[in-house]
């Protein structure tokens, strides 16, 4: 009798489990038919797809704190990637899966305009950052404080003779200097060096204290933002950030079930710097002209997934024109 009761309870449990699965399937199917990405909603609700916050780089004088917008989509780790091409997935008409294509993105290629000035003169005090140094792992914010923390022996005594001694150091390579003007950064001009960081920073500090002008000459690469390219990108695409590991996990499964086209690409270098390498992010591209893609964009927005389009809007404000 006890065995029969247990068997009946087990059968009822199995029936409820199967019925629940059928109900969930029907709910998802109905939602998809009505243009709502219900499987995506369910995955988010169940915690299978969670938003990750962007972790910006630490604010330092080094170029590792500069977001490399000028190299965005220039090169991808995917074996099929091409420069400035978007990996785009479109629902197959016959097979219920997403077909891949590569879409050229001219507005990404031209979003940062590059101007090379072969001979450019500037005062040493105009340098706000440095690209390479034995001390670059240290999170030092101000270039003027750098020698105080890392090379005080090169800094003192603060005299004109010691300033000249620092500037004469061979690693500075005064006859082969290169600078970059990242116009979207606070520090703007960075010295792209191969050594000599401690000596030049010390000389810069001394020049300020002694009120002695020090003129430098070298190649200048000026990188500026083209806001019109950003405007066109934002007018055509919704862009959100999802965990990298879920692009072809829960997110892909939800898009495949919804038969929704989407693109994905890497982030610009230094844009996201999580302490855990498993917390990477990818940009999801959703065409605004597609009702299904717009529905997905609304779900991502409503559930706190970072809006990459707003980051581009902030960048566009640095357009000097």
Q: What is the pLDDT of residues 113-153, one digit of tens each?
A: 999 999 999 999 999 999 999 999 999 999 999 999 999 99
DSSP 221-290: EEEEE-HHHHHHHHHHEEEEEEEGGGTTTHHHHHHHHHT--EEEEPPPBTS---SSGGG-EEEEEEETT-
Same domain? 239 vs 294? yes
Same domain? 211 vs 126? yes
In the prediction, which pLDDT does 13 show?
52
DSSP 104-118: E-HHHHTSEEEEEEE
pLDDT of residue 20 exceeding 90: no
Q: What share of the chain has pLDDT > 70, as a percent?
A: 85
Same domain? 106 vs 233? yes
pLDDT level of residue 321 (50, 70, 90 thresholds) = low
Sign of the CA dihedral running 218, 69, 72, 112? negative
Same domain? 257 vs 219? no
Mean pLDDT of 14-34: 56
Whole-angstrom Cα Rg for the chain: 27
Q: What is the pLDDT of residues 65-115, one digit of tens each?
A: 999 999 999 875 444 568 999 999 987 645 556 788 899 999 999 999 999
pLDDT of residue 291 exceeding 70: yes
In the prediction, which pLDDT does 98 show?
72
Same domain? 136 vs 212? yes
User: Which phi-psi region, left, alpha or beta, contains residue 195 (left: φ > 0; alpha: ψ -120 to 50)?
Assistant: left
Q: What is the pLDDT of residues 220-277, one digit of tens each?
A: 999 999 999 999 999 999 999 999 999 999 999 999 999 999 999 999 999 999 999 8
Same domain? 118 vs 143? yes
Same domain? 103 vs 231? yes
Same domain? 173 vs 307? no
Residue ending a domain, among 167, 198, 225, is: 225
Reply yes or no: is the peptide bond before residue 157 cis, omega within 30 of 0: yes
Mean pLDDT of 280-294: 97
Mean pLDDT of 1-14: 53
In the prediction, which pLDDT does 92 show?
65
Tokens matching residue 71:
């190299």
Per the structure, how many domains does the chain have?
Answer: 2
Exposure string of 272-299, with b = 16+ CB inside 10 Å and e = fewer, is beeeeeeebbbbbbbbeebebbebbbeb
In the prediction, which pLDDT does 258 show?
94
Range of the domain at 161: 112-225
In the prediction, which pLDDT does 305 show?
98
Same domain? 75 vs 58? yes
Mean pLDDT of 309-315: 98
Same domain? 188 vs 129? yes
- Let me know if residue 2 belongs to a domain: no
- Let me know if residue 271 belongs to a domain: yes
- Let me know if residue 16 belongs to a domain: no
pLDDT level of residue 28 (50, 70, 90 thresholds) = low
- Let me know if residue 183 belongs to a domain: yes
Helical spans, DSSP H, in 59-196: 106-109, 146-150, 152-155, 160-167
Q: What is the mean pLDDT of the chain?
A: 90
pLDDT of residue 318 exceeding 80: yes
- Let me know if residue 9 belongs to a domain: no
Residue ending a domain, among 202, 225, 248, is: 225
In the prediction, which pLDDT does 79 show?
46
pLDDT of residue 5 exceeding 90: no
- Let me know if residue 213 belongs to a domain: yes
- Let me know if residue 260 belongs to a domain: yes
- Let me know if residue 170 belongs to a domain: yes
Residue ending a domain, among 172, 203, 225, is: 225
């Amino acid at each position: 009798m006890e065995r029969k009761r247990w068997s009946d309870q087990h059968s009822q449990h199995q029936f409820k489990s199967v019925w629940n699965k059928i109900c969930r399937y029907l709910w998802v199917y109905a939602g998809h038919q009505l243009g709502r990405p219900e499987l995506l909603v369910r995955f988010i609700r169940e915690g299978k797809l969670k938003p990750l916050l962007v972790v910006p780089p630490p604010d330092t004088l080094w170029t590792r704190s500069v977001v490399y917008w000028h190299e965005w989509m220039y090169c991808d780790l995917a074996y099929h990637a091409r420069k400035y091409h978007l990996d785009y997935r479109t629902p197959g008409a016959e097979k219920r899966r997403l077909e891949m294509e590569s879409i050229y993105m001219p507005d990404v290629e031209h979003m940062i305009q590059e101007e090379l000035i072969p001979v450019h003169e500037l005062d040493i005090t105009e340098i706000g950052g440095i690209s390479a140094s034995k001390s670059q792992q240290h999170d030092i914010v101000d270039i003027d404080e750098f020698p105080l923390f890392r090379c005080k022996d090169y800094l003192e005594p603060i005299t004109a003779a010691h300033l000249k001694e620092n500037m004469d150091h061979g690693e500075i390579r005064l006859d082969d200097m290169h600078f970059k003007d990242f116009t979207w950064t606070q520090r703007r001009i960075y010295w792209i060096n191969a050594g000599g960081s401690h000596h030049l920073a010390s000389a810069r500090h001394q020049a300020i204290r002694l009120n002695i002008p020090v003129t430098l000459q070298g190649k200048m690469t000026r990188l500026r933002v083209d806001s019109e390219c950003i405007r066109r990108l934002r007018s055509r695409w919704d862009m959100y950030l999802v965990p990298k590991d879920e692009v072809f996990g829960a997110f892909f499964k939800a898009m495949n079930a919804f038969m929704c086209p989407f693109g994905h690409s890497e982030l610009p270098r230094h844009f996201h710097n999580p302490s855990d390498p498993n917390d990477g992010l990818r940009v999801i591209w959703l065409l605004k002209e597609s009702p299904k893609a717009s529905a997905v964009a609304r779900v991502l927005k409503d559930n706190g997934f970072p809006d990459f389009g707003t980051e581009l809007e902030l960048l566009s404000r640095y357009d000097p024109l």
